[in-house]
Structure 1
Amino acid sequence: MANMSSEIIAFVLSISGWVLTSSTIPLDYWKVSSIDGTVITTATFWSNLWKACVTDSTGVSNCKDFPSMLALEDYIQVCRGLMIAAVILGFLGAIVALVGMKCTKIGGSDRTKARVAGFSGMIFILSGLSSIIACSLYAHRITSEFFDPTYVAHRYELGAALFIGWGGSSLCIIGGIVLCFSLSENFNLYRRYTYSGVASVLSSQAKVHNGDTRLTKGTGNPPKQFDKNVYV
């Protein structure tokens, strides 16, 4: 029962992380213009994986979509690919987890379902790692430009979308690890059951042998050896 509860908790954590990761892709504020050293701010510049925008003091935004994918900077292309891979892996992990969880009626025997649940945990871990690498790579580019004294263009700070992506990635990884632990617990339980079964058989055989020895000692006579012509 405890194992089933841990699987349900891990599944909820993983799905929550996948939803947060998926919502990060279309969010606007991956990076926001810095106001460090600025006395009066008349416009806010912000950008994500798909476009760059500017919002004036009246709240009106003007956006410009990025050009062709081949003309994009390398780190944006890598972040796009990793985030899309994270979403696809999370979707596959959710389907596999539904098959492998004990609370569902599909997937075969308990041992087979445990293997499927562990496999779904590894998929969720890969999804979380893909997302966290993408967010970290984007954040590294922002911080390197911000602290570079030779960088003269507009400087940006970390946007809210990055923190949401890190949080969703962490939930996916934690949920996947718990699912992998459920796999190891099922295998340990199976090994203990097999060992106890073998031990019980050996102990019963030993008891029978000891009983025969006691019967032989109680009579005081060695066991009789019958000749092949005894009944003739």
Structure 2
Amino acid sequence: MWRRLAQILGLLLCLLGWGFVGCTLAMDHWRVAQLGGQGGSSVVLTAWYWSDLWRDCYEDSTALVNCVDFGVLWAVKPYIQAVRGLLMIGLCLGLIGVVLTFFGLECTHIGGDPKSNDRMLITACAFHLLGCLSDVAAYCLYTNRVVAAFLHAKADPSKLSYDIGPALYIGLVGSFLILLGCTVHCATACRLKHPKRYPLVSFTGGKGEENEVLRGKKHICAPSKRTNDSRNVSLYKMASVVTV
């Protein structure tokens, strides 16, 4: 019973993480830069520059947003193309992993015997892990470019100093949930029921007496020589008494 509940919990964690990663593709504010907002005057002007995987936008203090969409695919910066590709690969692998997980669950009764279910579940975990690695690589690549732009802005004040937006944090949380769900599935797929089996060893005694050792115990199938001698002695004594 606990294995089924753990498998359902792992599936829910993987689905939740997969949904978080998918939402980040359409989210805004991957990186954010703020200008103004300093006091000392009667009117405080603030402007925000933010970007995502599809456009660059400018927003002023009156909530007026002006965006410029990225052009054709080959005109986009290479690292943005790489982030898009890695996230899409991760989502496709995660979708395959979810489908295989349904076949590997015990409560669905689709995969067959328990061994085939465990193999299917381990295969689904492998797809989930590959997708998680692809997602984490995409987020780390984008974070690296944001940090590089921040360091360049520190060296040159004329450039914008971008910060990491909430979309990256949500994506990293989703990747952690996928990893946690894979851990739960791997723990349920590894069965620990391995009974100890002792070998059946047969050997021959001194005069053809067959002995058997089973599970650390010795069973004698034939009567021993000592018992035969004691019986012969007792019969001899009885015969001598009768003769007298």
Coarse TM-score class (shorter-chain normalised):
0.7 to 0.9
Q: Relative to 1, partners in 2 of residues 1:202 and 1:102: Cα closer, same or farther, differing over 3 Å?
A: farther
Q: CA deviation at 1:155?
A: 2.1
Could you say which residue in structure 1 is the equivalent of 2:63?
A: 59
- For 2:17, give the aligned amino acid: G
Question: 1:102 aligned to 2:116?
Answer: no
1:211 to 178, 201, 220: 220
Could you say which residue in structure 1 is the equivalent of 2:122?
A: 118
- Residues 74-105 of structure 1 show CA distances to partners (whole Å, capped at 9, x for unaligned) of 11011000111111111111110010011111
Measure, in 2, the Cα distance between the counterparts of 1:90 and 1:41.
Answer: 44
Would you tell me which structure has more helix in proportion to its own residues?
A: 1
Among the aligned pairs, what percent are the same residue?
30
- For 1:131, give the aligned amino acid: D
For structure 1, which runs of at least 5 residues remain unmatched after alignment? Answer: 222-232
* 3-state SS of 2:49 partner: strand
Q: CA deviation at 1:2?
A: 2.3
- For 1:6, give the aligned amino acid: A
Q: CA deviation at 1:162?
A: 0.3
Measure, in 1, the Cα distance between the counterparts of 2:181 and 2:45.
Answer: 42
Q: Relative to 1, partners in 2 of residues 1:202 and 1:163: Cα closer, same or farther, differing over 3 Å?
A: farther
Give the stretch that moved more between structures: 157-166 or 26-35: 26-35
For structure 2, which runs of at least 5 residues remain unmatched after alignment? Answer: 39-43, 203-211, 230-244
Measure, in 2, the Cα distance between the counterparts of 1:80 and 1:217.
Answer: 86
- For 1:220, give the aligned amino acid: N
Measure, in 1, the Cα distance between the counterparts of 2:67 and 2:87.
Answer: 22
- Residues 110-135 of structure 1 show CA distances to partners (whole Å, capped at 9, x for unaligned) of 00000111111111111211111111
Would you tell me which structure has more strand in proportion to its own residues?
A: 2
Question: 1:158 aligned to 2:164?
Answer: yes
Could you say which residue in structure 2 is the equivalent of 1:44?
A: 48
TM-score (norm: length of structure 1): 0.82
Question: 1:33 aligned to 2:40?
Answer: no
TM-score (norm: length of structure 2): 0.78
Could you say which residue in structure 1 is the equivalent of 2:136?
A: 132
Give the stretch that moved more between structures: 24-33 or 6-15: 6-15
Measure, in 1, the Cα distance between the counterparts of 2:45 and 2:115.
Answer: 62
Contact map agreement 1:29 1:46 (CA 8 A) in 2: yes
Question: 1:2 aligned to 2:9?
Answer: no
Could you say which residue in structure 1 is the equivalent of 2:198?
A: 199
Question: 1:177 aligned to 2:183?
Answer: yes
- For 1:157, give the aligned amino acid: D
Measure, in 1, the Cα distance between the counterparts of 2:124 and 2:87.
Answer: 18
Max Rg structure: 2
